[in-house]
């Protein structure tokens, strides 16, 4: 990791020599403006208050040190106290050779040290189709999982199925009404039920696969409990199918009902009483969540004796901790942000450290249609669902749109725009870079210069010492390639897949610019030759594009 390694080295030099503690804010980074050089550090400025010397004074000491590094050349200090420097070509070439050797592993690191993460996302109630927002959490969770794995963590992707409470019961009730109605029997549809068109998705499917097996002779449900189980599973199947359409998959579908297996609820209740974490009031059992930072106490057992959803939350978190995860991450939609305090309260009460529990809030998605915002409420009949979106624009675009912007940003999703398969969609720009490179290789293979075989354009057989930088865009590409591992690391540190998306866009841009100016297959006086240096460079670009696209799980097409 170029930036991180250089920073670490600088910190090591400074600590004990110039200052006891090196400020966190010390950075080695690319300067915004290219004219300042390849890299830059603010070391002198952040040290100034610590050392009580002027930045310029400190910068001369530090720039002397940096000048000794074999990676860099041309170190200079500038006005307020910045130290700017360039990367030496010899270093770039050696580093690129190493990149080529690592191939599909390039960019990964083991900073995660095998730490076990449970990442829960989507977890939409199985009471209807997924909406657009779920697509965002799905893409976010999936890519974040990939990012964590690329950084050496172990990840369990989990979906929590709410199949136990009153919402599931209500859904089953609605479904039963439609089911009986379908076979011509009288049925009463619950007044406050889910929209029938949402429920019928599952009912139609159930009838298709299982026919009337839940119907008894009197025109009633023969086995209401199995019907409920079946109808919910049918909905879950449908949800899983939708998510699979965008390549979002889970390691564990965790059923809320499984928390209530033999005596588990009584066990946790006893435990909570022993710890004095609950008390009785108004015939209900309350959890002392205010004692752990929640704004109010929460009911665990209703006056009727039924456990609440909050009871499930307690057991679920306990279960996760019991499965030995070092870190438990929830991705919640902004409409559930009120959960954060509750969850952390449970965590504290159960002795799960704050550093172990993390909640990522994803802001909502607005749908824009013909310039107008469209409300997306599942309770209001026919809406534009995630399934519709994936069918309209394809999984690559969906995934890129959702992970290309910060999850803190409420996004506007313009359906009309997303439908257009045009250059307005940046994902094509990135994929096109990959397709172009493939096309070059195909050309070399098919009608390339004599004496050049397929093996010669294999990354394993390339002599990277052939690389030379004859112009700015070649060096620019090299630098961009070497910054990839930092992008992977930073996107993990910040739980921000969009850092990776942004990086990809930049690499693609570097490539397209290069491609337009310089040729890999050169033709001189009718004879064709391949520029070995550029071939090597482009092979690496392809590798990094592939690696990054794999993390985003967006396809890298060979032709477009």
Residues numbered 219 to 248 that lie near RNA (CB under 7 A) are none
Considering the rule CB under 7 A, would residue 104 count as an interface residue with RNA?
no
- Least CB distance to RNA at residue 183 (A): 29
Ordered alpha helix ranges (H), 195-322: 196-210, 224-245, 264-274, 309-322
Rounded alpha-carbon distances, angstroms, from residue 296 to 207, 287, 288, 292, 403: 45, 9, 8, 10, 35
Q: What would the x/- binding string for RNA be over residues 347 to 366, using CB under 7 A?
A: --------------x-xx--
Q: Which stretch binds RNA (CB under 7 A): 66-74, 109-117, 260-268, 309-317?
A: 309-317
Which of 419, 470, 472, 517 forms a contact with RNA (CB under 7 A)? 517
Q: Which token pair is 20?
A: 């006891």
DSSP 483: T
Considering the rule CB under 7 A, would residue 379 count as an interface residue with RNA?
no
Tell me whether residue 34 or residue 273 sits nearer to RNA (CB atom): 34
- Least CB distance to RNA at residue 494 (A): 5
Which of 60, 166, 226, 529 forms a contact with RNA (CB under 7 A)? 166
Considering the rule CB under 7 A, would residue 395 count as an interface residue with RNA?
no
| Residue numbers 69-88 binding RNA by CB under 7 A | 78-82, 84
Contacts for 384 with CB less than 8 Å, ≥ 6 apart: 132, 367, 369, 374, 376, 415
Considering the rule CB under 7 A, would residue 452 count as an interface residue with RNA?
no
Contacts for 85 with CB less than 8 Å, ≥ 6 apart: 37, 38, 39, 40, 63, 66, 72, 73, 74, 75, 76
Which of 162, 242, 344, 543 forms a contact with RNA (CB under 7 A)? 162
Tell me whether residue 207 or residue 534 sits nearer to RNA (CB atom): 534
Which of 101, 270, 421, 472 forms a contact with RNA (CB under 7 A)? 421
- Least CB distance to RNA at residue 407 (A): 8
Which of 64, 354, 408, 463 forms a contact with RNA (CB under 7 A)? 408
How many angstroms separate the CA atoms of 372 and 366, rounded? 10
| Residue numbers 45-74 binding RNA by CB under 7 A | 45-46, 48-49
Q: At residue 215, what are phi and psi to the nearest 5 degrees?
A: -100, 130
Considering the rule CB under 7 A, would residue 19 count as an interface residue with RNA?
no
Q: What would the x/- binding string for RNA be over residues 241 to 280, using CB under 7 A?
A: ---------------x------------------------
Which of 99, 108, 118, 125 forms a contact with RNA (CB under 7 A)? 125
Contacts for 361 with CB less than 8 Å, ≥ 6 apart: 332, 333, 334, 337, 340, 407, 408
Closest alpha carbon to 113 in 317, 320, 323, 327: 327
- Least CB distance to RNA at residue 321 (A): 20
Considering the rule CB under 7 A, would residue 412 count as an interface residue with RNA?
yes
Alpha carbon 372 to its chain's center: 29
- Least CB distance to RNA at residue 310 (A): 7
Q: Which stretch binds RNA (CB under 7 A): 8-16, 245-253, 306-314, 455-463?
A: 306-314
- Least CB distance to RNA at residue 299 (A): 3
If one counts every other C-beta atom within 10 angstroms of the C-beta of residue 470, the result is 11
How many angstroms separate the CA atoms of 73 and 374, rounded? 56
Considering the rule CB under 7 A, would residue 42 count as an interface residue with RNA?
yes
- Least CB distance to RNA at residue 443 (A): 4
Considering the rule CB under 7 A, would residue 556 count as an interface residue with RNA?
no
How many residues of this chain bind RNA (CB under 7 A)?
A: 102
- Least CB distance to RNA at residue 285 (A): 9
How many angstroms separate the CA atoms of 117 and 146, rounded? 12
Tell me whether residue 279 or residue 309 sits nearer to RNA (CB atom): 309
Tell me whether residue 42 or residue 63 sits nearer to RNA (CB atom): 42
The H or E element spanning position 255 is strand 252-255
How many angstroms separate the CA atoms of 210 and 294, rounded? 46
Considering the rule CB under 7 A, would residue 410 count as an interface residue with RNA?
yes
- Least CB distance to RNA at residue 447 (A): 9
How many angstroms separate the CA atoms of 301 and 312, rounded? 10
Q: Which stretch binds RNA (CB under 7 A): 103-111, 175-183, 217-225, 517-525?
A: 517-525
- Categorise residue 143: left if φ over 0, alpha if ψ from -120 to 50, beta otherwise: alpha
Tell me whether residue 248 or residue 507 sits nearer to RNA (CB atom): 507
- Token look-up 């990964």 returns 108
Considering the rule CB under 7 A, would residue 140 count as an interface residue with RNA?
no
Which of 9, 53, 245, 336 forms a contact with RNA (CB under 7 A)? 336
**Residues 477 and 543: beta-carbon distance below 8 Å:** no
For every residue of 485-547, DSSP letters joined together read HHHHHHHHHTT-HHHHHHHHHHHHHHHHHHHHH--SEEEETTEEEE-HHHHHHHHHHHHHHHH
How many angstroms separate the CA atoms of 467 and 482, rounded? 14
**Residues 349 and 277: beta-carbon distance below 8 Å:** yes
Considering the rule CB under 7 A, would residue 167 count as an interface residue with RNA?
yes
Q: What would the x/- binding string for RNA be over residues 467 to 506, using CB under 7 A?
A: -----------------------x--xx-x-xx--x--x-
| Residue numbers 177-206 binding RNA by CB under 7 A | none
Tell me whether residue 252 or residue 303 sits nearer to RNA (CB atom): 303
Q: Which stretch binds RNA (CB under 7 A): 134-142, 383-391, 459-467, 511-519?
A: 511-519
How many angstroms separate the CA atoms of 316 and 40, rounded? 47
Q: Which token pair is 104?
A: 């599909």
Q: Which token pair is 511?
A: 């490539």
| Residue numbers 427-446 binding RNA by CB under 7 A | 428-429, 432, 435-436, 438-440, 442-443
- Token look-up 């190493």 returns 98
Which of 509, 532, 546, 550 forms a contact with RNA (CB under 7 A)? 509
């Amino acid at each position: 990791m170029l930036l991180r390694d250089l920073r670490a080295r600088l910190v090591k030099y400074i600590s004990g020599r110039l200052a006891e503690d090196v400020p966190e804010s010390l950075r080695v980074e690319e300067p915004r403006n290219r004219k300042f050089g390849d890299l830059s550090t603010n070391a002198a400025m952040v040290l100034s208050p610590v050392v009580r010397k002027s930045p310029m004074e400190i910068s001369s000491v530090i720039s002397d040190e940096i000048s000794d590094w074999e990676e860099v050349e041309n170190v200079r200090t500038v006005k307020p106290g910045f130290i700017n420097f360039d990367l030496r070509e010899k270093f770039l070439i050696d580093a690129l050779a190493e990149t080529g050797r690592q191939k599909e592993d390039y960019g990964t690191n083991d900073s995660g040290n095998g730490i076990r993460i449970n990442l829960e996302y989507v977890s939409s109630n199985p009471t209807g189709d997924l909406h657009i927002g779920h697509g965002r959490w799905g893409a976010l969770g999936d890519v974040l999982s990939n990012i964590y794995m690329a950084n050496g963590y172990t990840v369990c992707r989990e979906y929590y199925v709410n199949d136990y409470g009153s919402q599931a019961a209500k859904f089953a009730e609605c479904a039963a009404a439609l089911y009986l109605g379908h076979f011509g029997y009288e049925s009463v549809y619950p007044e406050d039920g889910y929209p029938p068109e949402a429920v019928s998705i599952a009912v139609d499917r159930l009838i298709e696969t299982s026919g009337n097996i839940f119907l008894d002779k009197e025109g009633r449900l023969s086995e209401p409990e199995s019907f409920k189980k079946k109808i919910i599973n049918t909905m879950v199947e449908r949800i899983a199918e939708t998510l699979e359409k965008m390549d979002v998959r889970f390691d564990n579908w965790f059923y809320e009902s499984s928390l209530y297996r033999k005596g588990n609820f009584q066990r946790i209740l006893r435990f909570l009483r022993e710890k004095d974490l609950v008390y009785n009031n108004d015939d209900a059992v309350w959890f002392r969540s205010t004692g752990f930072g929640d704004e109010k106490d929460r009911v665990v057992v209703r006056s009727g004796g039924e456990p609440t959803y909050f009871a499930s939350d307690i057991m679920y978190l306990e279960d996760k901790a019991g499965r030995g995860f070092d870190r438990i991450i929830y991705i919640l939609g902004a409409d559930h942000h009120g959960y954060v305090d509750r969850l952390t309260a449970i965590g504290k009460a159960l002795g799960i450290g704050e550093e172990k529990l993390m909640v990522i809030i994803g802001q909502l998605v607005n749908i824009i249609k013909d310039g107008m915002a469209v409300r997306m409420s599942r309770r209001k009949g026919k809406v534009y669902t995630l399934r519709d979106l994936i069918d309209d624009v394809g999984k690559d675009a969906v995934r890129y749109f959702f992970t290309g912007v910060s999850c803190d940003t409420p996004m506007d999703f313009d359906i009309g725009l997303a439908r257009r398969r045009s250059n307005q969609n940046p994902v094509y720009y990135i994929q096109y870079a990959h397709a172009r490179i493939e096309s070059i290789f195909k050309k070399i293979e098919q009608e390339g210069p004599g004496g050049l075989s397929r093996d010669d354009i294999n990354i394993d057989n390339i002599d990277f010492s052939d690389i030379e930088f004859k112009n700015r865009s070649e060096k620019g590409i090299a630098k961009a390639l070497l910054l990839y591992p930092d992008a992977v690391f930073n996107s993990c540190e910040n739980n921000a897949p969009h850092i990776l998306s942004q990086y990809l866009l930049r690499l693609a841009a570097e490539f397209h610019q290069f491609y337009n100016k310089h040729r890999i297959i050169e033709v001189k006086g009718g004879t064709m030759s391949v520029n070995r240096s550029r071939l090597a460079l482009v092979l690496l670009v392809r590798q990094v594009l592939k690696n990054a696209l794999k993390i985003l799980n967006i396809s890298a097409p060979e032709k477009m």
